[in-house]
Structures are given as structure tokens and as C-alpha cells.
């Protein structure tokens, strides 16, 4: 695996080795020994996935302290534009976002540190987005930022968005509980 740093501290892209032959592909997404040697102390507590059709936008989601988590995201089938928004108070990139394409073709994996909101737009029908997290789901700490309130262009004239996601506060109205330097 190769680790690529982004301009948002702690937000990492993994490029795993892809083994491909006439049978198909084999990709190792998570290897604890590699993570430990790379100073990525990540203990997975929960794994789940979503299936989304084209132009579905999910996000921008996060959990507040003490149930904030590191999240590992990858796409075993389909294609998304993935978006991460820095919510850490006093971070040099507070309020800034990072986006990239994740797909079954490029096999990239995103490691999202604590203090980030996460969302995506599905670019294909039946896209599977899989998440591994360092904490379990805590409904009382489950929050989000309104998807169109921080300057990202989703390039979608008629997105499919849940009522819950439409009810989130805009970034400018959100009082962040996350502190820069506590994101590991």
C-alpha cells in the first residue's frame, strides 16, 4: 500500500496493490501490521455499506465527541465523488473541503480523521460505498452539515437527498465541538 497525504492534515489516501488476472481482482483494503508500522493506530469497531443510485448525495455526516471516529471509506462497486470537510476549530484548513473520485476501478481508500464531515455523490447506479469506523453508531451524537453550505459544487441539478440530510445546519451556523490537534 502507498499512503498519500492531502492538504488537510490527517486526511489520507491509500492506494493498495491490486492483483488482477483472468479471474478478476484481489485488493487488500486493511492490514493492521501495515497500519501500525505507518503510525495509523486504527481499531475498527463497526463496518457497514450503502447502495446508492446515480445522483444520490449522502452527507455531510459525522459523530460528535465522545463518539467521533476515524473512518475508512472505499468503493467495491461503482463510482463516487467523495467529499470531506474540516470541522476542527483552529485548523489551518477549517471550513475547507477535499474531494476525489473513489471507484472499483481506481481502488483508492480514504482515511478520514476525527473532526471531519463526510459525504459523497454517487456517479453510477448501484454504487456500493463501504465504511469502517473506530466507534459504533451513537444516534445522540450523529450530526451533519448541510451539503450545499460550504462552497462545493456537486455538479448535480436534481440530486436525490434524504429529508434528514436536508435538515442539517449550514456550516456558518454550526458550532464545532472538534478541536485541531485532537483528530487522531
Active site members: 61, 131
What does 83-137 look like in DSSP terms, one character per residue?
EEEE--BT-TTTT-EEEEEEETTT--EEEE-TTEEEEEEESSTTEEEEEEESS--
| DSSP classification of residue 163 | H
How would DSSP label each residue in 9-59?
TT-EEEE--EEEETTEEEE----HHHHHHTT------EEEEEEE-TTBEEE
Using an 8 Å Cβ cutoff, are 117 and 71 in contact?
no
Amino acid at each position: 500500500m502507498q499512503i498519500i497525504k492531502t492538504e488537510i492534515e490527517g486526511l489520507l489516501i491509500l492506494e493498495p496493490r491490486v492483483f488482477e488476472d483472468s479471474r478478476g481482482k484481489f485488493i487488500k483494503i486493511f492490514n493492521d501490521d501495515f497500519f501500525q508500522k505507518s503510525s495509523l493506530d486504527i481499531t475498527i469497531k463497526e463496518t457497514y455499506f450503502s447502495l446508492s443510485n446515480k445522483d444520490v448525495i449522502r452527507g455531510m455526516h459525522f459523530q460528535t465527541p465522545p463518539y467521533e471516529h476515524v473512518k475508512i471509506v472505499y468503493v467495491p462497486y461503482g463510482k463516487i465523488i467523495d467529499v470531506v470537510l474540516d470541522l476542527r476549530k483552529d485548523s489551518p484548513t477549517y471550513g475547507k473541503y477535499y474531494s476525489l473520485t473513489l471507484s472499483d476501478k481506481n481502488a483508492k481508500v480514504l482515511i478520514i480523521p476525527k473532526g471531519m464531515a463526510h459525504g459523497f455523490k454517487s456517479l453510477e447506479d448501484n454504487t456500493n460505498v463501504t465504511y469502517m469506523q473506530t466507534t459504533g453508531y451513537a444516534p445522540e451524537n450523529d450530526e451533519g452539515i448541510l451539503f450545499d453550505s460550504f462552497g462545493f459544487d456537486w455538479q448535480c441539478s436534481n440530486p436525490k437527498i434524504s429529508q434528514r440530510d436536508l435538515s442539517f445546519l449550514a456550516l456558518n451556523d454550526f458550532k464545532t465541538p472538534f478541536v485541531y490537534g485532537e483528530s487522531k
